[in-house]
Every structure is written in C-alpha cells, then in structure tokens.
Structure 1
Amino acid sequence: MIKDSVVGDQRTRIGEGQTDDGLGPNSDIGARLRALYGAVQDEGVPDQLLDLLEKLDSAEKTQRGKDEAYDE
C-alpha cells in the first residue's frame, strides 16, 4: 500500500495533464539501471577481448596496406 501512495505522489508532482509512467531517470528502475551500469563500467576488459581487438587492428592495418598497394 505504501508503494501505491508513492506512485500517486509521483504522478501528482509531475503536473496537471501529465502522468509519470515510473520509467523516468529518478524512478526506482532508473536508479537500479544506473547502479548496474556503474558496476559493469567498473569491471575491467578481459585479456582475451583485448587480444582479439589487437588482432583485429593488425588485420585491418594489413588489409589497408594491401588495398593501398593494389590502388597504386
């Protein structure tokens, strides 16, 4: 019942003719998403992924060099 009261209060604070659907940046869902995003953002990048990215960069440079040699 307390939750219903809080939701009702949020809707009245928005203004007349406008209702809050509970998905705004200050809602409980928004706060939880920010916390989850922050936790993921603080995690390091796995070494395997960094190795794959380095290999991709190397392959792109090699391909670019071949394309430039072919264009000449």
Structure 2
Amino acid sequence: MNKRTNQDRERAIDDNLKKVFEETLDEGIPDRFKDLLSQLKKQDSDQGASK
C-alpha cells in the first residue's frame, strides 16, 4: 500500500470514530441510569451522616 492509501484509511477511521462519539454524546443519560445515580448519592450521603 502506498502512503496516500494509508492516510485515506486513517482519515476514514478518524471520521467514523468522531461520528460515533458525537452520536453517543447526543443520546444523553437514560432515566434508569439517572435514578441509579440518585440512589447511590443518597446512600453515600446517608453513610456520611452516620460516621
């Protein structure tokens, strides 16, 4: 393979990775996960108060 082909392939991979990353960011956090985080924070603050 020549240098140009490798650069084109690397550019395509970079573009696709950026696209997937941006799509993932746009999805947001599912409500189930937010609920779990809230429960963990409450549990952590309850443990901190009892120490």
TM-score (ref. length: structure 1): 0.59
CA RMSD of aligned residues (A): 2.3
* TM superposition shift of 1:7: 1.4
Greater relative contact order, per chain length (Cα 8 Å cut-off, separation 6+): 1
5+ residue gaps, structure 1, are 11-21, 68-72
Structure with more helix by fraction: 2
How many residue pairs match? The answer is 50
C-alpha distance in structure 2 between counterparts of 1:29 and 1:51, whole Å? 35
Return the offset for 1:5.
7.5
Amino acid paired to 1:63: Q
Match of 1:39 among 10, 23, 26: 23
Structure 2: gaps spanning 5 or more residues: none
Give SS of 1:45's match. coil
- TM superposition score normalised by structure 2: 0.80
Question: Which structure: larger Rg?
Answer: 1
1:6: how far off?
Answer: 3.5
Provide runs of 4+ in structure 1 moved above 3 Å.
none
